[in-house]
Amino acid sequence: MRALKISCSIPLIPCLNKKSISMKRRKFIDNTLIGTSGLLLGASGLMTASCKGANNKVVLALIGSGARGTEAIISTCKVNENVEIKTVCDVNDLKASKAISAIEKELGHRPQQSKNMQEVFDDKDIDATWISTPEHWHALATVWACQTGKDVYVEKNPSTNIWEGRKMVEAANKYNRIVQIGFQNRSASYGHSAREYIKSGKLGQVVHVMSYNMLGGSKWTARPDGDIPNGLDWDAWLGHTPYRPYNPGMHDMNSRGGWGNFWDFSGGTLADDASHVLDLARLVLGDPDHPTSIYGWGGNNAWGSERETPEFQNITYDFNNFSITCESGNGTNYMKKTPLEIRFSESQFPDWKQNATRTEIYGAEGMMYLGRHGGGWQVYGKDGEVLAQEYGLFSDVMHQQNFIECIRSRKQPNGDVEQGHKSATLVHLGNIAYRVGNQQLVFDGRDESFIDNDEANALLKASYREPYIIPDNV
């Protein structure tokens, strides 16, 4: 609500928080503001999104139009009223035109194309950006969006290092933006009932937690550099990361590509999927603050790939009165993600034994199995008796609804940026412990830095290449 307070307290500007306000009228007000007072120019961006009524039109732009982004933004328009996509922005023409066609087909409206996200940020019509680029663009795009008064839905993992994650929090707070991190389990009602169950004390004191992200995979092979494909702005794709020649092992015009194997662009399997598992575990545990110590091990011994991001990792986060372990990787094809029929059914639980993405919470009174993405939860007691349970529904749609609701209500969204940052930090901590040689690291949570470890501290922040700079002071 603080956004509303600030922006609507400026005198002489009619508050837009009225149900009947039309798109036309809003534009009129914007134009008036720009025309009448230079002083208020900066505030105008804030105004458009800050005082929206319950059903006012929300105008979105998609930044990063791969399969996930396109599917999610179309769904968002379908499951919410009066939401529209004005722009599809991608540095890859092929993906942009595919997304534009898909949107037109599904929603009956053809968005415009942009190759430069600055155009999105400069467009006063746009209320919010949907950021589903590769991970290395998440933080900067979010900061820029906040600075220009846009609300943000940003996919996980929200950052590629701890420093830029903190900058996202600072930007969201400073510019009073709604930033929904794409940790959609935070919009699952079963996530909250599991949290209530533990909070009530029925599980007893939590003594230990095991999170799993034991996915399948195969050997990955590096490829030689190649020519930049037509229709790709490679420099912009690289963003803040050091300039390097085009490599088809990192990028693919049609599909997701291999950037997840490189530290510059990603936190690997841990960032991609364990981030969800750990975020849900944190939610259910009552959102504990940063751990005080991390031991992380990793290696490429499953398949013997020469990947930067490892094939398997085994991590312990020490929260002082309990620890969370996370075993994550691509070496176990027989372990399975929760299948679709369970994600969308309220009458089935996964086979927990071989569920690749479960969490086990060991309390003094019982053990909770918890499955992300609709897996639900079950509490086991003595002799295998199920003491409590709740089926789960995949909460992608709920998270999309919550985002749009919060754009209108200015309430803190479920996937709020502070908790998203803390969950993302678990990923970074595990990766840094591996990268400095499978070490234990002692972490100062207040300062978000490592104690007595220069090598690890050097990995708290990436180097940023002009003009893709996140400023210290956002």
Partner 1 sequence: MKKNLGANNKVILALIGAGGRGTSVILSMKENTPNVEVKYICEVDASRGGRAIEELSKMQGYKPKRVGDMRHVFDDKEVDAVVICTPEHWHALAAIRACRAGKDVYVEKNISLAIEEGRKMIDTVHEHKRIVQCGTQNRSAAYAESARKYIQSGKLGNIVHVKSYCMLPGSKPWFLKPDSPVPEGLDWNQWLGPAPLVPYNLSRHKAWYDWWAYSGGYSLAGDASHVMDLARMVLGDPDHPKSVYCAGGRYLHDDKRDVPDIQNITYDYGSYTLSCVSSQFGEYMAKTKSEIRYGNKFPDWKLNATRTEIYGIEGMMYLGRHGGGWQVLSNNGEVVAEEFGMFPDIEHQQNFIDSIRTRNTPDGNIEQGHLSATLIHLANLAYRSGDVQLLFDQEREVFTNSSKANELSKVTYRPGFEI
Provide the minimum distance between the beta carbon of 135 and partner 1 in the complex, in angstroms, as a whole number.
24
State yes or no: cis peptide before 80, omega within 30 of 0: no
Provide the minimum distance between the beta carbon of 314 and partner 1 in the complex, in angstroms, as a whole number.
5
Task: State which of residues 303, 391, 464, 468 lies at the interface with partner 1 (CB under 8 A).
Answer: 303
User: Does the footprint of partner 1 cover residue 246 (CB under 8 A)?
Assistant: no
Task: State which of residues 32, 71, 252, 352 lies at the interface with partner 1 (CB under 8 A).
Answer: 352
- SS3 call for 336: strand
Task: State which of residues 364, 451, 458, 469 lies at the interface with partner 1 (CB under 8 A).
Answer: 364
Provide the minimum distance between the beta carbon of 201 and partner 1 in the complex, in angstroms, as a whole number.
13
Q: Quick one: 67 or 210, whose CB is closer to partner 1?
A: 210
Stretch that binds partner 1, among 109-117, 191-199, 224-232, 358-366 (CB under 8 A): 358-366
List of residues 6+ apart from 334 with CB closer than 8 A = 216, 354
- Give residue 194's Cα distance to chain centre: 22
List of residues 6+ apart from 197 with CB closer than 8 A = 203, 368, 377, 379, 388
Q: Quick one: 254 or 333, whose CB is closer to partner 1?
A: 333
User: Does the footprint of partner 1 cover residue 299 (CB under 8 A)?
Assistant: yes
Q: Quick one: 94 or 210, whose CB is closer to partner 1?
A: 210
Give the neighbor-by-neighbor strand order of the sheet with 449-450: 386-390, 376-380, 367-371, 358-363, 206-214, 323-329, 312-318, 293-299, 440-444, 449-450
Task: State which of residues 92, 157, 159, 293 lies at the interface with partner 1 (CB under 8 A).
Answer: 293
Of 141, 184, 137, nearest in space to 423 by CA: 184
Contact string 170-209 vs partner 1 (x = CB under 8 A): ----------------------------------xx-xx-
Residue the block writes with tokens 């599904």: 106
Window 417-456: residues binding partner 1 (CB under 8 A): 438-440
Q: How far apart are CA 298 and CA 434, in angstroms?
A: 6
Q: How far apart are CA 199 and CA 359, in angstroms?
A: 17
Helix residue ranges, H only, 203-301:
234-238, 268-269, 275-284
Provide the minimum distance between the beta carbon of 440 and partner 1 in the complex, in angstroms, as a whole number.
4
- Contact between residue 471 and residue 247 where contact means Cβ atoms under 8 Å apart: no
User: Does the footprint of partner 1 cover residue 309 (CB under 8 A)?
Assistant: no
Provide the minimum distance between the beta carbon of 258 and partner 1 in the complex, in angstroms, as a whole number.
20
Token reading at 254: 């049609």
Provide the minimum distance between the beta carbon of 259 and partner 1 in the complex, in angstroms, as a whole number.
24
Task: State which of residues 165, 257, 366, 430 lies at the interface with partner 1 (CB under 8 A).
Answer: 366
State yes or no: cis peptide before 467, omega within 30 of 0: yes
Provide the minimum distance between the beta carbon of 380 and partner 1 in the complex, in angstroms, as a whole number.
6
Q: Which residues pair with 84 in a beta bridge?
A: 59
172-195 burial code (b ≥16 CB/10 A, e <16) = beebbbbbbbbbbbbbbebbbbbb
Q: Quick one: 24 or 382, whose CB is closer to partner 1?
A: 382
Q: Quick one: 46 or 335, whose CB is closer to partner 1?
A: 335
Contacts with partner 1 by CB under 8 A: the residue count is 49
Task: State which of residues 383, 447, 454, 466 lies at the interface with partner 1 (CB under 8 A).
Answer: 383
Window 311-340: residues binding partner 1 (CB under 8 A): 311-312, 314, 316, 318, 320-323, 325, 327, 329, 331-336
Q: State phi, psi for 285 to the nearest 5 degrees.
A: -80, 5
CA atoms within 13 A on the CB side of 368: 37
User: Does the footprint of partner 1 cover residue 388 (CB under 8 A)?
Assistant: no
- SS3 call for 181: strand
User: Does the footprint of partner 1 cover residue 354 (CB under 8 A)?
Assistant: yes
Site residues, partner 1 (CB under 8 A): 204-205, 207-208, 210, 214, 293, 295, 297, 299, 301-303, 311-312, 314, 316, 318, 320-323, 325, 327, 329, 331-336, 351-354, 362-367, 380-384, 438-440
